[in-house]
Structure 1
Amino acid sequence: MVMRREVFLELVQDRGRYDSSSEADRAARTVLALLRAHLVGEVRADLAARLPEEFGLILLNPLQAAEPLSPERFVRATAAWIEGATERTAAWDVSAVLSVAADTAGAELTRDILLQLPPGYDLLFGHPQDSADEDGPHDR
């Protein structure tokens, strides 16, 4: 089911503690434009299909990254795209948008998205990965 634009922006606005929906919209557009270059194939299409149409279209733009950005470089790139942003405020923007996108995507698609991204993005999506879950049970 596709989330309505207003609901998506309300969630981003709440998580990002923005004063207006226009600030949430700016953050969403910027973060999703950067994310689109890192996702490919069905994963990108599936996420786009679950987001409000105008945000889904941002993801479907065929721009690809020459190399995936580390989470730190992703945050720095976000700061560079948002006038007046610092790395700290950009990290807040990224987490607000990506955590709502993860909730919209659901656990399975979020896991597939994280598999396409460099290590460390799980924290930006608000879904920290337990290394024990990835490696299997460990004797203690």
Structure 2
Amino acid sequence: MRWQAFLEAVQERGSYPSDLEAERASRVVLALLGAHLVGEERAELAARLPETFALILLNPLQAAEPLSPERFVRAAAAWIEGATEQTAAWDTSAVLSVVADAAGEELLERVLLQLPPGYDLLFGHPGSV
């Protein structure tokens, strides 16, 4: 997926007034996601994202433990300036739903297997896995 197409999709789904806000949310969410994925799935997902976002996904801080979806959203809220848990949930879903589209069903299923239960909702694919 190309950079502009990715940002436009995130901007539309998140109802952001600017590319900058969509980019900021994308960077935070992808850094957090990258900390939870390993191996082939992380590499394949990165290959389907714009290069800058792929690098963020591939070079995250390592998570000490897998975060539940609720803790993932709280972590996003802590990293996104001015965010609340409610706005961070919106940001997370906007970004991850675009990531899900870029991944496709088969790769998304494998990604969800690496994450704690409940992430299917954040990706906008309830009932997956």
Deviations 1:66-118 (A, max 9, x none): 11000000000000001110000000000000000000000000000000000
Q: Which runs of 5+ in 1 are unaligned?
A: 135-140
In the alignment, the residues of structure 2 paired with residue 48 and residue 63 of structure 1 have an alpha-carbon distance, to the nearest angstrom, of 16
> Offset at 1:62?
5.2
In the alignment, the residues of structure 2 paired with residue 56 and residue 83 of structure 1 have an alpha-carbon distance, to the nearest angstrom, of 22
Q: Which runs of 5+ in 2 are unaligned?
A: none
**Divergent runs of 4+, >3 A:** none
Paired position in structure 2 for 1:75 = 73
Aligned-pair identity (%): 77
Superposed counterparts of 1:1-140, under 5 Å: 3-61=1-59, 63-129=61-127
> Offset at 1:120?
0.3
Determine helix, strand or coil for the equivalent of 1:65.
Answer: coil
Q: Which amino acid aligns with 1:8?
A: F
Determine helix, strand or coil for the equivalent of 2:78.
Answer: helix
Say if 2:31 and 2:60, in contact at 8 Å, map to a contact too.
Answer: no
Determine helix, strand or coil for the equivalent of 1:97.
Answer: helix
In the alignment, the residues of structure 2 paired with residue 93 and residue 19 of structure 1 have an alpha-carbon distance, to the nearest angstrom, of 13
In the alignment, the residues of structure 2 paired with residue 54 and residue 9 of structure 1 have an alpha-carbon distance, to the nearest angstrom, of 12
Structure-2 change in CA distance of 1:62 and 1:23 (3 Å)? closer
The structure number with the bigger radius of gyration is: 1
Q: Which amino acid aligns with 1:101?
A: V
Deviations 1:113-140 (A, max 9, x none): 000000000000000016xxx6xxxxxx
Determine helix, strand or coil for the equivalent of 1:117.
Answer: coil
In the alignment, the residues of structure 2 paired with residue 83 and residue 36 of structure 1 have an alpha-carbon distance, to the nearest angstrom, of 20
Paired position in structure 2 for 1:138 = none
In the alignment, the residues of structure 2 paired with residue 112 and residue 53 of structure 1 have an alpha-carbon distance, to the nearest angstrom, of 21
